[in-house]
Each structure stands twice: as C-alpha cells, then as structure tokens.
Amino acid sequence: MKTMDLNEIKKIVPGNGERYIFIENGKPVLVLLSFEDYQKRFNSREEKETEREKTLPLIPQRTPQVTNDLTLEDLPF
C-alpha cells in the first residue's frame, strides 16, 4: 500500500466547493473536500434547520391512551 504525506494530500484536496467521492464496490465510501468547504456546508445545513424549526407550526403532543386490560381471549393460543 502506498502512503502519502500531508503535503501530497493537500495538493489534491479540491477547493471552491469541489469534492472527490471515492467509490468501492459500486458504493460511495469516502468524500474528500477542503475543511473550508466542509464548514460552509455544515454551517449552511445548521442554518437551514434552524430556519425550518422557526417556521414549523407547533403541534401539541398527544399522549396515547394505554390500556393494560389483557384477557385470556387476547392471547394467540
């Protein structure tokens, strides 16, 4: 297996919103992007979630009614 030092890796790290997606057995397994781009994506997602939470209507939570009345007729045998 070939090893790479950090300087070699930095040379191939994409910038300007670009990213590399590594595929193994036909499925994505890794994503490589700059830390700056990662922060932008992560912060943007957090901001969207916060905005969405502000606009969601408040729905009262209902407590389900639980009955523990089990009879012999309820059993499967």
Token code pair at residue 37: 């781009």
Q: What was the pLDDT predicted at 65?
A: 67
Per-residue model confidence (pLDDT) at position 39 = 85
Give the residue ranges of the chain where pLDDT is below 70: 1, 45-68, 70, 74-77
Amino acid identity, position 58:
L
pTM (2 d.p.): 0.44
The helix (run of H) or strand (run of E) holding residue 36 is: helix 35-55
* Predicted pLDDT of residue 42: 81
Q: Six-digit token pair at 57?
A: 């209507």
Spell out the domain ranges in the chain: 22-55
Report pLDDT for 17: 76
